[in-house]
């Protein structure tokens, strides 16, 4: 078996100190460029391979970032992870990815695994039933940075990366009201999570601004699954006074609801205008195409990861920036354009 070449072997060949060789191979500014060229050339000639893992351990760094998400099987989360991978790869970091399956118990187990795996920091989107961040205390005590994204909660030891869900919920509801809707139903998820609580708050504010009040018969709490969309449509079909507008807190549920409403004899948008959320590919498959809120998943992943790396490199301090708010956009499509048909008939 061939002997592994070390910095000591290179130092002997060049009659230099091991410290000089080490600094040159790590591109230290104290070593002049000619010496660096000489040393790196000799290292390549001799077949030297840097032991990056050992070096990282000496620096108490593994160049690994832990990621905990509620579920991996969503388009939004796949775009977030794509953004994370892009930034992490450029900075020579690896991602260790896990999912909580919407369970705080699984989230706690994931956090423990990540800590034992010596990750340098965490990127976390919280499970639906997470009520506090005590299971991340080992990270806080050791000063390891945590960035919360999308599903967050206030915490002085974390930076949150979000969109303004209150404003987005307001805009979605206000758009329906602008189309002439007066009985707008909101279908949402678990309001223990900021994203759904804030979208609900925006919905209520938009109604109040038009002199309308939110009523219990126009509010549905669900898991926002495809089946939930079917069941909401069935509920609507049995209502004596059904809604004329529908704001659903994700596109998957909105699309399945539109499909089921059509089977129950409702015309969309003629009888009921519908707005979703996330701008998933589903929104362009359903007929009519779905009006939705564009949620910048890839940008969220990129910014969350870059912020974490900046903290690790000493460029930012946790707590300096508590919340980073990204831009969202209402994308208007045929599912809410109630006047289009009438205008074309004139």
How many C-beta atoms surround the C-beta of residue 169 within 10 A? 29
Assess whether pLDDT exceeds 60 at residue 285: yes
Residue 6 has a pLDDT of 85
Q: Tell me, yes or no, whether 279 lies in a domain.
A: yes
What would the pLDDT profile of 139-173 be if each residue is shown by its tens digit?
998 889 999 999 999 888 889 999 999 999 999 99
Q: pTM score, two decimals? A: 0.80
CATH code, domain with 34: 1.10.260.40
d(CA 141, CA 107): 18
**Phi, psi torsion values for 98, nearest 5 degrees:** -140, 165
Query: What is the band of 33 on the pLDDT scale with cuts at 50, 70, 90?
Result: confident
Has residue 15 got a pLDDT over 90?
A: yes
* Closest to 308 (Cα-Cα) out of 29, 84, 110: 84
Same domain, 285 and 198: yes
Q: Which domain holds residue 239?
A: 165-295+331-345
Give per-residue pLDDT as tens, 189-232.
Answer: 999 999 999 999 999 999 999 999 889 999 999 999 999 999 99
Q: How much is the mean pLDDT over the chain?
A: 90
For the chain, helix, strand, coil in percent to 5 are 45, 15, 40
**How do residues 311-341 score in pLDDT, each as one tens digit?**
998 877 666 668 999 999 999 999 999 754 4
**Is there a domain that residue 58 lies in?**
no
Does residue 212 sit in the same domain as residue 259? yes
Exposure string of 117-154, with b = 16+ CB inside 10 Å and e = fewer, is eebbbbbbbbbbebeebebbeebbeeebbbbbbbbbee
Report whether pLDDT(243) > 70: yes
Question: Token pair for residue 329?
Answer: 């956009």
Least confident among 58-67, 91-100, 226-235:
58-67
Same domain, 234 and 304: no
3-class secondary structure per residue, 282-326: HHHHCCCCCEEEECCHHHHHHHHHHHHHHHHCCCCCCCCCCEEEE
- DSSP, residue by residue, 172-216: HHHHHHHTT--SEEEEE--TTSHHHHHHHHHHHHHHHHTT----G
pLDDT at 49: 66
255 within 8 A of 285, measured Cβ to Cβ: yes
| Most trustworthy range by pLDDT among 31-40, 108-117, 239-248 | 239-248
Closest C-alpha among 92, 111, 88 to residue 305:
88
Domain harbouring 223, CATH code: 3.40.50.2300
């Amino acid at each position: 078996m061939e002997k592994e070449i070390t910095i000591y072997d290179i130092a002997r060949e060049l009659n230099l100190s091991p410290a000089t060789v080490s600094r040159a191979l790590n591109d230290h500014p104290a070593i002049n460029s000619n010496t660096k060229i000489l040393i790196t050339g000799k290292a390549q000639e001799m077949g030297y391979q840097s032991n990056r893992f050992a070096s990282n351990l000496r620096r108490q760094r593994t160049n690994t970032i832990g990621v905990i998400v509620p579920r991996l099987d969503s388009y939004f989360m796949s775009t977030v992870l794509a953004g994370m991978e892009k930034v992490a790869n450029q900075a020579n970091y690896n991602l260790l990815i896990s999912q909580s399956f919407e369970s705080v118990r699984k989230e706690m187990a994931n956090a423990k695994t990540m800590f034992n795996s010596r990750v340098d920091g965490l990127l976390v989107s919280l499970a639906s039933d997470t009520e506090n961040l005590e299971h991340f205390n080992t990270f806080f005590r050791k000063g390891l940075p945590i960035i919360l994204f999308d599903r967050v909660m206030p915490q002085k030891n974390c930076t949150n990366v979000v969109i303004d869900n209150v404003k987005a919920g307001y805009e979605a509801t206000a758009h329906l009201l602008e189309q002439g809707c007066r009985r707008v139903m909101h279908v949402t998820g678990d309001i223990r999570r900021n994203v759904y609580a804030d979208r609900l708050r925006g919905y209520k504010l938009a109604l109040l601004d038009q002199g309308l009040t939110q009523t219990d018969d126009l509010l549905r709490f669900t898991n926002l699954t495809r089946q939930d969309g079917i069941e909401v449509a069935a509920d609507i079909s049995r209502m004596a006074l059904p809604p004329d507008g529908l704001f659903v807190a994700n596109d998957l549920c909105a699309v399945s609801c539109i499909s089921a409403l059509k089977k129950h004899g409702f015309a969309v948008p003629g009888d009921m205008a519908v707005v979703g959320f996330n701008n998933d590919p589903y929104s362009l498959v359903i007929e009519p195409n779905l009006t939705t809120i564009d949620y910048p998943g890839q940008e969220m992943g990129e910014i969350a990861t870059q912020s974490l790396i900046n903290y690790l490199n000493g460029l930012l301090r946790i707590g300096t920036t508590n919340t980073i708010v990204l831009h969202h956009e209402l994308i208007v499509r045929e599912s809410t354009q109630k006047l289009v048909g009438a205008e074309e008939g004139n």
